[in-house]
Amino acid sequence: MVNWDNKKYKQECDKLFSRYIRMRDGECKIRGLDNIPCIGGLEAMHIIRRGKLRLRYDVNNGLAGCHNHHSYYTNHPYLWRDLMQKEFSKRYYLIRQNEERLKTYIDWEDTARSLAILVGDLRSSFVNEPC
């Protein structure tokens, strides 16, 4: 068993989560839902930002967005919540429901491994690697 410390696992999991979400969605999912223009590179955002650490790596809770949208809604959390409830209501309420059942601790090794498998599966489904 690899004995990494949590910080290293967290960095690795953040990296894998972001890569997976950007590859899966491929574009800013907020485009056209508001009057804010898409500017900048693609980033991974969270439908529900706060919560247990496990929510941070739940790919159902991930959404790709351009830097401009990500930055704007990070500074306007209430507008973000309203937008998510309106446009992504099914996922929003599903995540909210599951949130209560999530464990408070995180199995870092298992989380990193699961994310790496997801990225690998997605990558092999493309003819050319997009990133």
Instruction: Name the site residues for Zn ion (rule: CB under 5 A).
Output: 28, 30, 38, 66, 69
| Number of C-beta neighbours around residue 46 at 10 A | 20
| Shortest Å distance, C-beta 18 to Zn ion | 16
Give the C-alpha separation, 117 to 32, whole Å.
Answer: 32
| Shortest Å distance, C-beta 101 to Zn ion | 32
Give the C-alpha separation, 64 to 29, whole Å.
Answer: 6
Looking at the Cβ atoms of 32 and 130, the one nearer to Zn ion is 32
Looking at the Cβ atoms of 13 and 28, the one nearer to Zn ion is 28
| Shortest Å distance, C-beta 22 to Zn ion | 13
How is residue 46 written in tokens?
């969270």
Looking at the Cβ atoms of 43 and 58, the one nearer to Zn ion is 43
Q: Give residues with Cβ within 8 angstroms of 128, minimum separation 6.
A: none
